[in-house]
Chain A
């Protein structure tokens, strides 16, 4: 297995190539464009046998992927920010039609004011579309989660499209050593896409998306809900199988980093995780019993796994790179719901960080954890905005 220096975006392109995608339909947008540029290059050189559909918008990009997936092709696309919002209507169609599609999203803030830097609100705004949503920590995980993503999405107990998201620039444009599995290993893990009962067939015509009266509609929604819950097992199984074939465990619903005996647990998604782990290591050496729980899959939300992870902690710090105006961060809301549902007794603090690419240093993270440890933070009712200039 060759180790290659790859940016997160190029790791994504390699992952799509190794997954033998058959259709790529995409529209350029910073900071995503490199992914589909690289795929176009693979196709042009004949290294990837796929059809690249150049479309006039993100809405059409997803529509083309839906068409491709409906006739049985393995489809891939990627976008960011405004492009994702423009595509949004089609996301509901893809999930509602139960089509396996994988999409890479380089997380980016929304305008106005314009920003090309990272922020998770673009992806989180698509929370309820019925797409499985994974957040990668680094370039290696971008590659691993996309390959696993096809297998999860195509599982006939799941049949839901899947997003793999990663932070703009911190991951998308940063070059890291990436262990790229051999094609035969990926082929064994991810066989050719099969046909399902709802794969279009000219010999046996049918149509998608007819009108469902109130006596039927609700069951279709229940079926998506039900498949989402089932996806939890499938996600874990795929991570285990991937580990068996590649020797790398790089998947699963959450990552438990020293949480088991921790009094205080930090929770976050995406690239900040690396910094949080360094801070945890440092504070552990000073005797602070702190752990870190990374949410790898935001949908389905891993409530049970998270509850186990934070079982013995007293204080929870949730780092959100998004804000739901009028409430708090989306991740924090999920954590509070989990704490409540599982009947746990915790103090949960919400922290907003890194909005629109605002810099966060390890020192900032350390300070806030130490403050929480010394019980010096304000009441959890007060949402903390990290490194906010003036209030």
Chain B
């Protein structure tokens, strides 16, 4: 071995696929209950929630952590089992 092997990794886009692939539970917003406070949008660690006229979850990137459901003050987000 001529060169020292460096334990470093360069970031590559999508090298492990979209974070949406990690999900086992899927957050689904019940818009009848939702008050549009956007707390879920603020808390989502993946920025996978868009703040439009209502919160919209991007399922390609939502990793299913459930933080949004936990933070929602009116329990408008249900975590549903993925198949």
- A208 near B7 with CB under 8 A, answer yes
Pick the interface stretch among A220-228, A356-364, A367-375.
A220-228
Do B7 and A222 have beta carbons less than 8 Å apart? no
Residues on A with C-beta less than 8 A from B4 are: 98, 156-159, 223, 227
Total interface residues in chain A, CB < 8 Å: 23
The interface-forming segment of B8-16, B32-40, B50-58 is B8-16
User: With A206-B11, A207-B11 as given contacts, are A198 and B1 in contact (CB-CB < 8 Å)?
Assistant: no
Contact of B8 among A159, A207, A223, A226 (CB under 8 A): A207
Report the minimum CB–CB distance from A218 to chain B (whole Å). 11
A223 CA to B10 CA, complexed, in Å: 20
Question: Is B5 in the interface zone, CB < 8 Å from A?
Answer: yes
Q: How far apart are the CA atoms of A96 and B8 in the complex, in Å?
A: 10
Complex Cα spacing A381 to B4, Å = 41
Contact flags A148-177 to B (C-beta < 8 A → 1, else 0): 000000001111000000000000000000
| In the complex, B6 has a CB within 8 A of chain A | yes
Are A222 and B9 closer than 8 Å at their CB atoms? Answer: no
Which residues of chain B are within 8 angstroms of A98 by Cβ–Cβ distance? Answer: 4-7
On whether the beta carbons of B9 and A210 are closer than 8 Å, the reply is yes
Verify A206–B8 contact, CB threshold 8 A.
Answer: yes
The listed residue with most A CB atoms (<10 A of its CB), out of B6, B7, B9, B11, is B7
Which A residues are CB-close (under 8 A) to B1?
222-223, 226
Establish whether residues B7 and A206, one from each chain, have CB atoms under 8 Å apart when the complex forms: no
Are the C-beta atoms of B7 and A97 separated by less than 8 Å? yes
Q: Which residues of B contact A210 (CB under 8 A)?
A: 7-9
Instruction: Report whether B11 and A198 are in contact in the complex, using a CB–CB cutoff of 8 Å.
Output: no
Interface size class, chain B: under 10
**CA A220 to CA B11, docked complex, whole Å:** 19
| Complex alpha-carbon distance, A345 and B10, angstroms | 52
Q: At the interface, yes or no: A247 with Cβ under 8 Å from chain B? A: no
Within 8 Å CB of A212, what residues of B? 7
CA distance A158 to B11 in the complex (A): 26
Cβ of B6 and Cβ of A197 under 8 Å apart? yes
A205 to B8, CA, bound (A): 10
CA distance A223 to B5 in the complex (A): 6
Which of A196, A205, A206, A220 makes the CB contact (< 8 A) with B5?
A: A220
Q: Is A209 an interface residue (CB 8 A)?
A: yes
Q: How far is the CB of A90 from chain B (nearest CB, A)?
A: 15
Q: How far is the CA of A206 from the CA of B6 in the complex (A)?
A: 11
Within 8 A of A (CB), among B1-29: 1, 4-11
Q: Which residues from A are CB-within-8-Å of B8?
A: 198, 206-208, 210
- B10 closest partner in A (C-beta): A206
From residue B3, how far is it (CB to closest CB) to chain A in Å?
Answer: 8
| Contact A198 B6, beta carbon cutoff 8 Å | yes
Query: Of residues 180 to 204 in A, which have CB atoms within 8 Å of B's CB atoms?
Result: 196-198
Docked CA distance A198–B9 (Å): 10
- Name the A residues within 8 Å of B7 (CB-CB): 96-98, 208-210, 212, 220
Task: Please name the 10 residue pairs, one residue from A and one from B, whose CB atoms are nearest each other, closest first.
Answer: A223-B5, A198-B6, A210-B9, A206-B10, A226-B1, A206-B8, A159-B4, A198-B8, A207-B9, A220-B5
Q: A208-B8, A210-B9 are in contact. List 9 more A-B contacts (CB 8 A).
A: A197-B6, A205-B10, A207-B11, A210-B8, A219-B5, A222-B5, A223-B4, A223-B5, A226-B1
Q: What are 13 A-B pairs with beta-carbon distances under 8 A?
A: A98-B4, A98-B6, A158-B4, A198-B6, A205-B10, A206-B10, A210-B8, A210-B9, A219-B5, A222-B1, A223-B1, A226-B1, A227-B4
